[in-house]
Amino acid sequence: MAPVVSGFSKLSKADKIKWLAEHHFNNDQDTIDTLVTYWNSNDGLQRLHDEFTENTISNYYLPFSVAPNFLINNTRYTLPMAIEESSVVAAASKAAKFWQTRGGFKAEVISTTKVGQVHFMYAGNPEKLQPFFSIVKPKLLTAVAHITKNMEKRGGGILDIELRDKTTEIENYYQLHCTFETVDAMGANFINSCLEQFAKTIVTEAKEYHGFSATEKNIEIVMSILSNYVPQCLVKASASCAIKDLPNTRSLSSLQYAKKFVRAVRIAEIEPYRAVTHNKGIMNGIDAVVLATGNDFRAIEAGAHAYASRNGKYTSLTHAKIQHDILTFSITLPLALGTVGGLTSLHPLVKLALQLLGKPNAKKLMEITAVAGLAQNFAAINSLITTGIQQGHMKMHLMNILNQYKATEDEKKKLITYFETNAVTHSDVVAQIEKLRA
């Protein structure tokens, strides 16, 4: 077991690696070399990455890919996607190509409200709190004027502050439930700064409020933090086409395909075991764009899954229907995204990704990202109801297996050709490599 270390973050990068090598890797030189191999030779760029977090010892690469041919609201986009899963980008590109000849995707932002809360305890007479809050509310707004000034210039700011009584759930527990418009910023720092100021102001104002008894003057702040649950920051994307324009194979007519497609979505609507996987596939597309554009994919994930269970049962984020011989497929989900602040102007690839998308504002990025999720879901269901998922998945995974077995370029070429006409299974790939090498 490694010993307790103090002052680790103060060590130089080389000394951190030395400590790791000594206590975790038996001073193995290969391990040190691996970490160093991933350093960037451009010192400035490496320093930038080193300073993103504490204790950076190397860089962790993810493929930065692109998926072309996305027609969204009649504009063509090439989507940047940062993801490691082999088949995701290919699936997105395939879905984009399919829909671009069928009218493309439509997308619209429904709402952009963000939320933050000050959680506090007040052990006094509940009836005195609302009158106190009515007096304090304008003072809360004045207290954050220095923080909101710039945001207001950009068209955003605080939308409202509500006092919420939660004492039926936890004794003496109340909230300032605050809503914000943060325009093109994701807004976490702005929201948290406002909330922490609200907390300070409410505590001081309570102390001076004549209507409170001595004990009532002691409001205890538990915490002040934005919420990643943003059911009022919603975007909808959809795609529709005539049933006759859907895939039509020997085993499945277009109508049968449409019905099977709707049934597959319906199963995800009613069955949580399926819904989670169905939504995971949606998040394959969404996370990849979110990550490539420097946004917080954990926030997006948490918010999306909470929204998927908003009615008390986890369900599908997408829906499908057949009406008047037309299949319509849609997604509605919360996406609190930003195109300014955070990594957007810092990380060179994030800047490039936003440039690739034509420097979208946050609303446009919400639309594009929702489409990435819908397209990914279309590709997954299309495979699931026709060939099954493994055919495409294993084709893309072939290269990973070949790399795992350190296949040479010549071996790769031969085996890719072989697997064009043979089903890819892990065991057969290994068998074929061994056969070539025998």
The whole-angstrom separation of Cα 226 and Cα 178 is 9
Q: Can residue 259 be called a binding residue for ligand MEV (CB under 6 A)? A: no
Residue listed under structure tokens 């037309």: 326
Pairing mode of beta strands 157-165, 106-109: unpaired
Residue listed under structure tokens 């959809």: 238
Q: Is 280 a catalytic residue?
A: yes
The whole-angstrom separation of Cα 3 and Cα 12 is 19
> Which residues have a Cβ under 8 Å from the Cβ of 87 and sit 6 or more positions away?
392, 393, 395, 396, 397
**Active-site residue (options: 13, 217, 280, 412):** 280
Residue 76, beta-bridge partner list: 71
Shortest gap between Cβ of 268 and ligand MEV (angstroms)? Answer: 8
Q: Is 85 a catalytic residue?
A: yes
Stretch that binds ligand MEV, among 23-31, 161-169, 192-200, 277-285 (CB under 6 A): 277-285
**Active-site residue (options: 49, 85, 97, 269):** 85
Stretch that binds ligand MEV, among 151-159, 164-172, 280-288, 314-322 (CB under 6 A): 280-288
CB 337 within 8 A of CB 291: no
Q: Can residue 85 be called a binding residue for ligand MEV (CB under 6 A)? A: yes
Q: Can residue 95 be called a binding residue for ligand MEV (CB under 6 A)? A: no
How many residues make up the chain in this entry?
Answer: 438
Q: Is 393 a catalytic residue?
A: yes
Q: Can residue 267 be called a binding residue for ligand MEV (CB under 6 A)? A: no
Select from 191, 47, 202, 214 the least CA-distant residue to 124.
Answer: 214
Stretch that binds ligand MEV, among 7-15, 65-73, 276-284, 328-336 (CB under 6 A): 276-284
Residue listed under structure tokens 């290919």: 90
User: Of the two residues 281 and 360, which places its CB atom closer to ligand MEV in the complex?
Assistant: 281
CB 272 within 8 A of CB 278: no
Shortest gap between Cβ of 389 and ligand MEV (angstroms)? Answer: 5
Using DSSP, state whether 7 is helix, strand or coil.
Answer: coil
Q: Can residue 400 be called a binding residue for ligand MEV (CB under 6 A)? A: no
Q: Can residue 374 be called a binding residue for ligand MEV (CB under 6 A)? A: no
Q: Can residue 137 be called a binding residue for ligand MEV (CB under 6 A)? A: no
Q: Can residue 16 be called a binding residue for ligand MEV (CB under 6 A)? A: no
Distance of CA 344 to the CA centre of its chain: 15
Pairing mode of beta strands 157-165, 173-181: antiparallel
Q: Is 296 a catalytic residue?
A: yes
CB 136 within 8 A of CB 198: no
User: Of the two residues 85 and 301, which places its CB atom closer to ligand MEV in the complex?
Assistant: 85
User: Of the two residues 320 and 380, which places its CB atom closer to ligand MEV in the complex?
Assistant: 380
Q: Can residue 305 be called a binding residue for ligand MEV (CB under 6 A)? A: no
Helices (H), 116-247: 126-143, 145-153, 188-208
User: Of the two residues 235 and 265, which places its CB atom closer to ligand MEV in the complex?
Assistant: 265
Q: Can residue 280 be called a binding residue for ligand MEV (CB under 6 A)? A: yes
Chain residues in the site for ligand MEV (CB under 6 A): 85, 277-278, 280-281, 284, 380, 384, 389
**Residues labelled catalytic:** 85, 280, 296, 393
